[in-house]
Chains A and B, each alone.
Chain A
């Protein structure tokens, strides 16, 4: 264990970890929203993210974006990418709900059945993108670099790059926006009502189906934003990219307390930091092992995650 490498640059590792975790957090929101309302692990959410990365990539390539355009065009591309990504991911998530989950809910199927359906959906989407994109070569697909990485802030030797800053800022903004939406708007009240007690909410005139479509759309929207940030930062995508991100995001959601919006943020950021710390201490190959061990330890002491779980209860 190389403690010197960790503690000599602890600030830098923390920043790296936070920026890494911010993307987990955005994807984790999708798991948390759906779980908070439906008590259901939407395993297909990883593919919702994957679809977003492809949509953004095609948009950028489609409008002929070159490498490192001027700052104005870059911002335009990012915003446009964000909109397209959010629409594509949101649309995919809603489609999954309408095609698959809705029928199961009608039958009040147990959660295991949702899980397997989600896995089926996930497999189908992965295969569709594997077969029909990139000549069916199943390789990574690159895209233009929209923004060159540069040091934006250098604070006491801790270097924060512009990309990291954008990722963090966007994640926090989306998070605050979502939190406000859920807590302040009429729609948000509906979501909270259904999360707390679906039957009572229905009696009070909340249209449950509409709320459910809404949460899938919101989760997809967050994944779409995560997708554009991913593309900006890493500049590639692949048909099976969702799996690892989905796994990490789900872990993050559980770590923070699944069903809790702020928990997803805390869990995502924390997971990113843990991974970077342990990758620095040992080798990158061990980071997942430590991430899961930390998860188990946290769950032993706080069985519902760091911030507790309920979407409804937390703000009731």
Chain B
């Protein structure tokens, strides 16, 4: 028996599937966020050096992780769309970009809120802050390019190429900025080395990261459903939706 790998690669079949998945991911995001916030604010001990202000890292660090992961995932979808000429992949890339940009902004804002009591400055030209800012520029460039091209097919492919060029450049930018200047504290979680933070703190951070993941998936699916309807508005299955169930999954 052969599996049809491409069954859900067409908007018509993916639209209802996405509709069914959204409540699950949204629910998981809510539960994980409640648990994560409870651990971060009620259970995790006060840091002996940084006091209560350190608790912002429970939002800051997962947001920074997500901002980087989403760019890579977005470029992956974009590359897939370019290689296989699949419409849905390009739509997924387009749907992920705003969420990635928002997480990047969130990481920057929470970082500066943390930086004010810790470093005494809202902003310092440190390597990781600067590369996060550049990542925001890359997201904005992707969104701007896609929205300024009217033909959706060309917009998809041009955006995909830009995302791939960006992904090749991200490590180069990161290391150039890192050598340029650094006074950020060393990262607290290192692969290979034992984490220096308390287990509850790590737990809170990981739960928040998972919550952000689920949120990203739910929101991206919602957005991709809108994009599908907009792009396929003249297709028969979209017209059928509007006449029967009023757009419900």
The answer to whether A and B come from one shared complex is: no
B interface, CB within 8 angstroms of A: none
A interface, CB within 8 angstroms of B: none
